[in-house]
Each structure stands twice: as structure tokens, then as C-alpha cells.
């Protein structure tokens, strides 16, 4: 099976791929991106894990920003994308591993990523209700750097992801990032693919629910990180013909 979490996978893929858009046509993103970027365009925008996406060019053409820096750790795609760029665009491509970003603090108005953070969750899908410390640290390292690079007054981090809010939100909800969190959902016409746009705004307070989430007191979002306290798990099945369908799981915490 292909391992999208490996740099070698992307290097090989970009040898033959010139253009591909994860999550499909960017058109569906515009109603949401307009809310944040149309009336107050960014001066400088950083696009993490750009791959062979045209998102930067599209955002530039929609006047969302004056200057865009695309970064990716897979070198071979950078020259390819640069060679098809229209000369008048203030867009450029650089090699950068987002796990170590030696970038200026409080410099970017907007940082955006589409499907790039998702790659770090590959191989951890089975344990998202109870993520490992290793995964939490890996994501925290990236988010800490993103937060540091954002302008402290209303710098924005926009993250476009397949991951549902109950899994992603606990990673994002930390006071130390100094941002608020908004979540928008997008689905294609026939509802078969749903994905999410997470918008973090620096300098704004997290809402009460996210604060409770960080303290482990949220009733809405939670990581099940106290496995040992789960004493009783009741499962309800319904028999339909010869198959048993799982109807419900009831977890009672006896502590």
C-alpha cells in the first residue's frame, strides 16, 4: 500500500504528476474563504504542503493576497510549478519541511494548508479517540510553529481537512496557540464527500466549549484518554436477517 506519510512517496508521485487538487475543485471553498479574505486581503500568505495544487494561483486571482509563498518538502514539484507560473503573479515556491519551520515570527497574515496535516494522521486512524503522545507531540510541534509565524493581531490559519471536528478539534484547542476556532463544513452535491475548513484567528479568545475541551471537561468534544476508567461498555445490536448490525454503544464511566 502507498504510504502518503513518506517523503519518498511524494517525490515519486511528483516525478509524473504536474497538477492535482486534493478535495477537488477549489470553487467550493470560495464561499468560505470569501468570508475571511475578500474584504481584508492578506499581504503575505504562506501555503503549507502545496504539492501540485493550483490553490495559490486561484487565491491570487481572487485577490485574497498580494504575495504567496508555497512550500513543500518534495523538491521536484517546486520547479515544475514555478515553470508554469504566470510571470506577473507574486507567487513563489520553496522547499520546507513543516516539522521545522525556520521562519520569521509574527510575519504571515494567513497560513493555509489543504490535506497536508491530514498526512500526519495516516497510520493513526484506529486510535483517534485516544491519540498517542507521539502523535499529539508531532501535531503540537507543527501548530506551535504555525501560531508563532502568524501575525498576533488577527493572523489566520486556515486548515482544510477530511478529519471531522471531534477528532481535529482537540488538537487545535490550546490556549497557548492564542487563537479562536471556527469550523465550516463542505460537501459535494451528492453529499458523498464531506470535508472541513478550520479557521483559527490569532489574538481572539477560544470559546468556552474549546476552553473546556482543553481542560478535559467538555461534554461535547473529548478524547477518551482515561481508558482505565471505562468500566462498562454496553453494545446494542439489532438482528436483521442473519446479520447483526451495531445499533449503539453505551459507555458508562463508573468513576
Ligand X SMILES: C[S@@+](CC[C@H](N)C(=O)[O-])C[C@H]1O[C@@H](n2cnc3c(N)ncnc32)[C@H](O)[C@@H]1O
Rounded to the nearest whole angstrom, what is the least distance from the CB of residue 209 to ligand X in the complex? Answer: 29
Q: Does 49 bind ligand X (CB under 6 A)?
A: yes
Q: Does 198 bind ligand X (CB under 6 A)?
A: no
Q: Does 56 bind ligand X (CB under 6 A)?
A: no
Number of Cβ within a 10 Å radius of residue 60: 21
Q: Does 155 bind ligand X (CB under 6 A)?
A: no
Q: Does 22 bind ligand X (CB under 6 A)?
A: yes
**Secondary structure of 196-212 in HEC code, one letter for each residue:** EEEEEEECCCCCHHHHH
Kindly tell me which of 22 and 157 has the beta carbon lying closer to ligand X. 22
Within 13 Å and on the Cβ side, how many CA atoms surround 66? Answer: 7
Rounded-to-10 torsion of CA 11, 12, 13, 18: 70
Q: Does 74 bind ligand X (CB under 6 A)?
A: yes
* Count of residues interacting with ligand X (CB under 6 A): 18
* Binding segment (CB under 6 A) for ligand X, from list 61-69, 108-116, 233-241, 246-254: 108-116
Asked if 163 contacts 196 with a C-beta cutoff of 8 angstroms, the reply is yes
Q: Does 25 bind ligand X (CB under 6 A)?
A: no
Q: Alpha-carbon distance 24 to 154, whole Å?
A: 28
Q: Does 51 bind ligand X (CB under 6 A)?
A: yes
Q: Does 151 bind ligand X (CB under 6 A)?
A: no
Q: At what angle do helices 165-172 and 133-149 cross, to 10 degrees?
A: 60
* Binding segment (CB under 6 A) for ligand X, from list 71-79, 82-90, 192-200, 231-239: 71-79
Closest CA relative to residue 167, chosen from 212, 208, 198? 198
Here the cell at position 142 is 507543527
Kindly tell me which of 7 and 105 has the beta carbon lying closer to ligand X. 7
Q: Alpha-carbon distance 86 to 60, whole Å?
A: 11
Q: Does 149 bind ligand X (CB under 6 A)?
A: no
Which chain residues interact with ligand X by CB under 6 A?
10, 20-22, 49-51, 53, 72-74, 97-99, 114-116, 119
Amino acid at each position: 500500500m502507498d504510504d502518503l506519510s513518506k517523503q519518498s512517496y511524494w517525490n515519486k508521485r511528483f516525478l509524473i504528476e504536474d497538477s492535482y487538487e486534493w478535495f477537488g475543485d477549489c470553487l467550493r471553498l470560495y464561499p468560505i474563504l470569501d468570508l475571511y479574505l475578500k474584504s481584508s486581503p492578506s499581504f503575505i500568505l504562506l501555503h503549507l504542503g502545496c504539492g501540485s495544487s493550483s490553490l495559490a494561483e486561484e487565491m491570487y486571482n481572487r485577490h485574497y493576497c498580494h504575495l504567496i509563498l508555497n512550500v513543500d518538502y518534495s523538491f521536484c514539484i517546486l520547479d515544475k510549478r514555478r515553470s508554469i507560473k504566470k510571470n506577473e503573479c507574486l507567487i513563489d515556491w520553496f522547499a520546507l519541511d513543516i516539522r521545522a519551520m525556520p521562519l520569521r515570527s509574527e510575519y504571515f497574515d494567513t497560513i493555509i494548508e489543504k490535506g497536508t496535516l491530514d498526512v500526519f494522521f495516516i497510520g493513526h486512524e484506529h486510535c483517534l479517540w485516544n491519540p498517542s503522545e507521539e502523535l499529539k507531540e508531532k501535531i503540537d510541534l507543527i501548530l506551535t510553529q504555525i501560531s508563532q509565524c502568524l501575525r498576533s493581531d488577527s493572523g489566520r490559519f486556515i486548515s482544510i481537512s477530511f478529519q471531522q471536528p471531534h477528532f481535529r478539534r482537540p488538537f487545535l484547542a490550546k490556549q497557548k496557540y492564542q487563537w479562536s476556532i471556527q469550523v465550516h463544513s463542505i460537501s459535494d452535491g451528492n453529499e458523498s464527500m464531506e470535508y472541513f475548513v478550520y479557521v483559527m484567528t490569532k489574538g481572539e479568545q477560544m470559546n468556552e466549549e474549546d476552553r473546556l475541551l482543553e481542560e478535559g471537561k467538555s461534554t461535547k468534544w473529548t478524547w477518551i484518554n482515561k481508558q482505565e476508567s471505562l468500566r462498562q461498555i454496553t453494545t446494542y445490536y439489532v438482528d436483521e436477517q442473519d446479520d447483526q448490525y451495531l445499533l449503539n454503544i453505551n459507555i458508562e464511566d463508573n468513576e
